[in-house]
Amino acid sequence: MKNPRAAHRYAHALMQVAEEQKLVDRIADDMAMIGRSLAASRELQVFLGSPVVPEVKKMSALKELFSAKVNALTAMFLELLVRKGREVHLQEIVEQFLALRDDVRGIMRVDVTSVVPLDKKQEELLTAELGRRTGKTVKFRLHSDPAIMGGLVVRIGDTVLDASVQRQLERLRERFAGNTGVSTL
């Protein structure tokens, strides 16, 4: 069960402490590693989300998994989450923390979907154009989807720029259906 408000509060609190201690990059690395671990292990997600697993077992498991690999602040933060019963939101907190770090650093994460992977020249051109328009440093997450048939779909936060062949065909179909009374193309 998602709780973006709680995730944001915890991520923001961790960011404040990390900034005070000048550990933002180190904590961001820790959180990214924890996020990858959670994404790779459905069992860990279920374990942390289970209301029947005692707090002590959850705390012990998190210590065993991460305490030797993370900064002491991150380890204390994980312990706090378990004590407050918020460990089920750990993945959301990780995402929120990394988004806050990116925002502070002037980095914008962009999802780009194309039929085939972009080559370096295309990536550079798109990076330069989006950077020029937003005034931020652009980092891509590239995806391939043959269903779009061609073109690109660019997602920047909640904004989607759909320049795919699939979308253009949908628009054309809508236009023909609206103008001629034809229901399908």
Same domain, 79 and 158: no
User: Please, what's the b/e burial string for 34-46 (b: 16 or more CB within 10 A of its CB; e: otherwise)?
Assistant: bbebeeeeeebbe
Same domain flag for 69 and 120: no
- CA diameter of the chain: 68
Task: Give the span between the Cα atoms of 88 and 49, in whole angstroms.
Answer: 5
Number of domains into which the chain is organized: 2
Residue 132 maps to a domain: yes
The range of the structural domain enclosing residue 175 comes to 107-180
Task: Answer with the residue of higher pLDDT: 20 or 134.
Answer: 20
One domain for residues 125 and 78 = no
Residue 184 has pLDDT above 60, yes or no: no
Residue 123 identity (one-letter amino acid) = E
Q: Based on the domain organization, do 114 and 142 belong to the same domain?
A: yes
Q: How confident is the model at residue 180 (pLDDT cuts 50, 70, 90)?
A: low
185 within some domain: no
Residues 114 and 153 in one domain: yes
Strand partners, 114: 144, 152
Determine the average pLDDT of the residues in 75-104: 94
pLDDT value at residue 54:
94
Structure confidence at residue 60 (pLDDT) = 94
Q: Answer with the residue of higher pLDDT: 140 or 7.
A: 7
What is the mean predicted confidence (pLDDT) over 3-26?
Answer: 93
Average pLDDT over all residues of the chain: 88
Q: Rounded CA gap, 24 and 157, in Å?
A: 22
pLDDT at 45: 93
Residue 1: its pLDDT value, please?
Answer: 58
- 125 with 170, same domain? yes
Q: In the chain, what percentage of residues exceed pLDDT 70?
A: 96
What is the predicted pLDDT for the residue at 179?
65
